[in-house]
Amino acid sequence: MRSTRIAAIGAGFTLALTLTACAGEGAGSGGGGDDGGEGAGEDATVGVAMPTQTYERWVADGNNVREGLEEAGYNVDLQFANDDIPTQSQQIDQMITQGVDVLVIAAIDGTALSGQLQAAADAGIPVIAYDRLLRDSENVDFYVTFDNYQVGVAQATSLLHGLGLVDEEGNEVDDAPEGPFNVELFAGSLDDNNAHYFWDGAMDTLQPYLEDGTLEVPSGQTNIEQAATQRWEQETAQERMENLLTSTYNSGQELDGVLAPADPLSRGIINALRSDGRGQTIEDGLPVITGQDAEIASIKLIADGVQYSTIFKDTRDLADQAVSAATAFLEGNEPEANDTETYDNGVKVVPSYLLEIHTVYEDNITETLVDTGYYTEEQVESGQL
């Protein structure tokens, strides 16, 4: 059952963190390399390990971290691993062998680098986990990220908002339709720790509506293992959506919404739905589809009324925070944390700095992305950088 309120695209809401800053408690030496915590000086080198260049945001992240570190006067060894775990392991091994003073790591698989983390600790090299938590090791000194549980909450809230069930801030509305609404659920890659936080935040938000029958999942695929998308690949999400349409919706059953945790997945889902003749835009039949990372191609789709929403995480701020943490270690200090309770990696709670997120809808693209200088109007109109 499709709500007539779907066409009313709401304004975005901001989920701001109100965490009190406190000092970090990292286990690193502070200085890295051979300086024994006394500060590495202007000749210091920071190793930056990013997962892939095939995902728009990681290219931007890598470049932003490199530029920030270079502006601070440090040398940078930036490597992309093309989503291949052995490649990333080798790259980090090489950085350690060459004597970098700090490591900034956005892991492909947060559980796959224990040997490298131990080698870094043995060499006195502090390790900063970048957006993806490094798990199952005590040798993680700091974590910079966004509030990933709240990302999931925001995605689910935007789905409910698109269905007319809540307002932009997640409050139930008086004239909400009764439903039931048919929805399908997608999750990220199981080897990415963030995917579990996204899922938990989203499912905690959706659960009351699933329990009272307002939302239904006709496929029955309601756990993260069933919904997962390995390596966050667009093609994998598209194939799963095609399979769902064939197995569950082949009799013309209506699909009202899709929880998608990232923009490449959203675009794959949209491709499958369009190919199945389920409309070209939300106005003429496409379900409400969420997203994340505010990729320019998806921002164009939102502007055109195709994708409903995305979560904007300003990676410029994330890069700045990584630079700030690295600088603190290089100067023999501890980075400032604003969360020392949430991110347990299985061995220790890693002191963290969490950044705020924003939900982007059609009518706040300019305010959120253009006015802040993240994109230009021309880029939004063309859907290209």
Domain boundaries for CATH 3.40.50.2300 within the chain: 4-14+148-313+361-370+373-382, 17-145+314-353
Burial class (CB in 10 A: 0-12, 13-18, 19+), 371: exposed
Task: Locate all alpha helices (DSSP H) within the chain, ordered by sequence.
Answer: 56-71, 85-97, 114-122, 148-162, 193-211, 224-227, 234-248, 263-275, 296-303, 315-330, 365, 377-382
301-330 per-position pLDDT tens digit: 999 999 999 999 999 999 999 999 999 999
Cα 245 to chain centroid, rounded: 27
Quickly state the pLDDT bin for 7 (edges 50, 70, 90).
Answer: very low
Decide: 102 and 75 in contact? Cβ < 8 Å.
no
DSSP H or E segment with residue 146: strand 142-146
The residue type found at 33 is: G
Q: Reply yes or no on domain 17-145+314-353 having CATH 3.30.70.20.
A: no
Instruction: Quote the pLDDT of residue 42.
Output: 67
Distance CA 29, CA 23 (A): 16
Model confidence over 28-62: pLDDT tens digits? Answer: 333 444 443 445 566 899 999 999 998 889 999 99
Chain center to CA of 88: 20
What torsion do the CA atoms of 12, 226, 50, 261 make, to the nearest 10 degrees? -10
Are 380 and 300 spatial neighbours (Cβ–Cβ below 8 Å)? yes
User: What is the CATH T-level fold of the domain 4-14+148-313+361-370+373-382, as seen in this structure?
Assistant: Rossmann fold (3.40.50)
**Total-model pTM:** 0.85
